[in-house]
């Protein structure tokens, strides 16, 4: 792979600028859906204007995410030139007009925020935080994506933001529980950590660690071992916060825990494969194994959301086994 990529001679077209918005990444907004389901299950809000709010809410999420993608791809163009596949991106291979790129960013951002304002103040604030997170991640002097571990933590904050957007679409009067947000955040960190691990293994093996560092500075502070340990840490933290949430708000979710664990394991396994879909989450729907696991999880979560199991309440009661039962009868 060449260290630099020559610009194409043709003039950039409208579709080239629109490609910066990465509409093919819309699948990532699947993380909004649990917010919808949980808000309905736990808060039982009125559904009178729910269809309209959900449609507009998703448009807001897509618009803000597209604004973040535009600024991400534009500011990363010099670094993406060192990536085995990202050097084909239009911001790298074409001579784009900076004025038009920033105009596109502003158009998506303003459109998203205007629609968010119609949804109410809490939703607007959440959408604004979503937009600011993209600036923190991509723009100097902070540019958190260049800092080891902070890059994963700051990028994965988009997960609880998306969940909150989904929640507020149905219930604008409350916020999701903190334990749920933390479970979603650390779960997202696990996904991002797995992505970094896959990139580290593949790119280091194909072009070497120095090229990888030129692609993204944060890799200078990573090793394969530290990335694996971080994935384990994020998964355990997510499990802990998820446990706190299910005990406090709906004990029936404990029945879904083994399936969620299997989903974590499946994703980590996929990230260890060559040219893994973990490097391109927008392609995750191409993995039959992952989609099967995800489908099973969705079905189980839907089931336990609406199925009450009173006998599970005993799990939160303190109980101790008497010594005479351990020793057995007649002793």
Q: What is the pLDDT of residues 294-307, one digit of tens each?
A: 889 889 988 888 88
- Which helix (H) or strand (E) element contains residue 103? helix 98-118
Confidence class of residue 52 from pLDDT cuts 50, 70 and 90? very high
322 Cα distance to chain centroid: 46
Phi and psi at 239, nearest 5°, equal: -65, -40
- Triad 29, 35, 40: Cα angle to 5°: 135
Average predicted confidence (pLDDT) for the chain: 88
For 22, phi and psi rounded to 5 degrees?
Answer: 50, 60
Distance CA 305, CA 39 (A): 11
Residue 240 has a pLDDT of 93
pLDDT at residue 126 tops 80:
yes
Distance CA 192, CA 155 (A): 8
The answer on pLDDT for 113 being more than 90 is: yes
CA–CA separation, 181 and 173 (whole Å): 17
Alpha-carbon distance of 194 to 134, in angstroms, equals: 20
**In this model, does residue 286 exceed pLDDT 80?**
no
Q: Who contacts 73 (Cβ-Cβ below 8 Å, separation ≥6)?
A: 20, 22, 80, 89, 90, 91
Residues 1 and 19: their CA atoms lie apart, in Å, by 23
pLDDT at 2: 46
Q: Which tens digit of pLDDT belongs to each residue from 219-257?
A: 889 999 999 999 999 999 999 999 899 888 888 888 988
Answer yes or no: is pLDDT of 154 > 90: yes
Q: How far apart are CA 93 and CA 81, in angstroms?
A: 8
Q: Which of 106-110, 111-115, 319-323 has the lowest mean pLDDT?
A: 319-323
pTM of the model: 0.87
330 phi-psi bin (left φ>0, alpha ψ -120 to 50, beta other): left
Pick the CATH number of 10-175 from 1.10.443.10, 1.10.357.140, 3.40.50.20, 2.70.98.40: 1.10.357.140
Higher pLDDT, 11 or 213: 213
């Amino acid at each position: 792979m060449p260290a630099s990529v020559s610009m194409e001679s043709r003039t950039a077209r409208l579709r080239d600028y629109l490609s910066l918005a990465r509409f093919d990444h819309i699948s990532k907004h699947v993380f909004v859906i649990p917010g919808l389901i949980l808000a309905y299950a736990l808060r039982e809000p009125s559904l009178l204007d729910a269809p309209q709010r959900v449609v507009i809410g998703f448009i807001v999420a897509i618009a803000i995410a597209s604004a973040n993608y535009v600024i991400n791809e534009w500011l990363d163009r010099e670094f993406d030139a060192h990536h085995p596949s990202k050097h084909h991106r239009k911001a790298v291979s074409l001579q784009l007009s900076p004025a038009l790129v920033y105009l596109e960013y502003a158009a998506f951002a303003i459109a998203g925020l205007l629609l968010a304002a119609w949804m109410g103040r809490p939703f607007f604030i959440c959408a604004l935080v979503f937009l600011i997170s993209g600036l923190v991640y991509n723009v100097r002097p902070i540019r958190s994506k260049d800092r080891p571990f902070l890059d994963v933590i700051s990028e994965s904050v988009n997960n609880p933001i998306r969940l909150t957007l989904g929640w507020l679409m149905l219930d604008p009067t409350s916020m999701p529980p903190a334990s749920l947000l933390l479970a979603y955040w650390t779960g997202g960190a696990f996904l991002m950590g797995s992505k970094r691990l896959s990139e580290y293994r593949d790119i280091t093996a194909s072009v070497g660690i120095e090229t990888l560092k030129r692609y993204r500075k944060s890799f200078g502070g990573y090793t394969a071992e530290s990335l694996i340990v971080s994935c384990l840490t994020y998964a355990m933290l997510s499990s802990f916060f998820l446990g706190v949430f299910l005990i406090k708000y709906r004990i029936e979710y404990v029945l879904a825990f083994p399936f969620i664990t299997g989903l974590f394991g499946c994703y980590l396994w996929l990230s260890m494969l060559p040219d893994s879909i973990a490097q391109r989450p927008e392609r995750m729907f191409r993995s039959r194994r992952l989609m099967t696991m995800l489908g099973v999880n969705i079905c189980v979560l839907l089931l336990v959301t609406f199925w009450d199991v009173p006998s599970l309440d005993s799990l939160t009661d303190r109980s101790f086994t008497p010594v005479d039962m351990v020793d057995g009868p007649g002793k």
